[in-house]
């Protein structure tokens, strides 16, 4: 069963590289995975939370940073070095079928830390801030999915690496969101009157 899943994973990655690449997407998709591209969004979120929710907003920002740190360490230090699955760009038989758009990066791929981090943030936002602003729930998950898919598109991760990272992000982000909501649930009336 595991061998079948691994073969299916490789075939799906190769299908993405054979059928989804174009000159315009090759120019855009690598930027989706670049952490510096998202700095303005992160700054906006922090400023928004501090301005609109004051003390609870500051606690929320610290909790979000804790989510990212915990998810990142779990994925990049614990799981990757336990599983030791080579990245597709470090696997000769797979690499020859890929359009590499970025440097390969580290040696191991499972789980994707990009996916874990972004889904961890997204699920935390989904379950906390999404209670107050329901319209942001699905856009934050779509954002995490796009950033994660970019990892497959550029050839540094397999699709199962993304699913594994998303699961890690869901478990940690969701659990810490549950705890945050027990202690400091955000409420609409906390917003300043305009």
Q: Does 192 have pLDDT greater than 90?
A: no
Distance from C-alpha of 174 to C-alpha of 157, rounded to nearest angstrom? 24
Predicted local confidence at residue 103, as pLDDT? 81
User: What are the tens digits of pLDDT across the range 48-91?
Assistant: 999 999 999 999 999 999 999 999 999 999 999 999 999 988 88
Identify which of 105, 109, 118, 32 has the alpha carbon closest to the alpha carbon of residue 68.
Answer: 118
User: What are the tens digits of pLDDT across the range 142-154?
Assistant: 999 999 999 999 9
Token couple for 111: 């789980």
- Is the CA virtual torsion 22, 25, 27, 32 positive or negative? negative
Predicted local confidence at residue 189, as pLDDT? 57
Distance from C-alpha of 94 to C-alpha of 155, rounded to nearest angstrom? 10
Q: Does 182 have pLDDT greater than 50?
A: yes
Mean pLDDT of the residues in the chain: 91
pTM above 0.85, yes or no: yes
Distance from C-alpha of 21 to C-alpha of 165, rounded to nearest angstrom? 23
Predicted local confidence at residue 104, as pLDDT? 83
Predicted local confidence at residue 181, as pLDDT? 96
Annotated domain spans of the chain: 51-93+104-187
User: What are the tens digits of pLDDT across the range 91-114?
Assistant: 887 777 777 788 888 899 999 999
């Amino acid at each position: 069963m595991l061998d079948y899943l691994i073969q299916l994973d490789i075939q799906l990655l190769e299908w993405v590289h054979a059928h989804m690449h174009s000159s315009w997407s090759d120019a855009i998709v690598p930027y989706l995975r670049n952490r510096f591209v998202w700095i303005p969004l992160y700054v906006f979120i922090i400023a928004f939370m501090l301005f609109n929710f004051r003390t609870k907003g500051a606690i929320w920002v610290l909790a979000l940073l804790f989510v990212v740190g915990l998810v990142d360490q779990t994925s990049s230090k614990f799981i990757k070095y336990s599983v030791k699955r080579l990245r597709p760009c470090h696997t000769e038989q797979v690499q020859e079928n890929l359009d590499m758009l970025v440097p390969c990066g580290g040696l191991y791929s499972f789980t994707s830390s990009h996916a874990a981090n972004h889904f961890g943030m997204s699920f935390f936002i989904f379950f906390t801030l999404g209670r107050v602003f329901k319209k942001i729930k699905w856009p934050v998950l779509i954002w995490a999915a796009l950033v994660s898919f970019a990892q497959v598109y550029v050839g540094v991760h397999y699709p199962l690496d993304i699913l594994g990272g998303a699961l890690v992000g869901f478990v940690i982000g969701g659990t810490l969101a549950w705890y945050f909501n027990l202690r400091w649930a955000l409420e609409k009336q906390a917003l300043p009157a305009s």
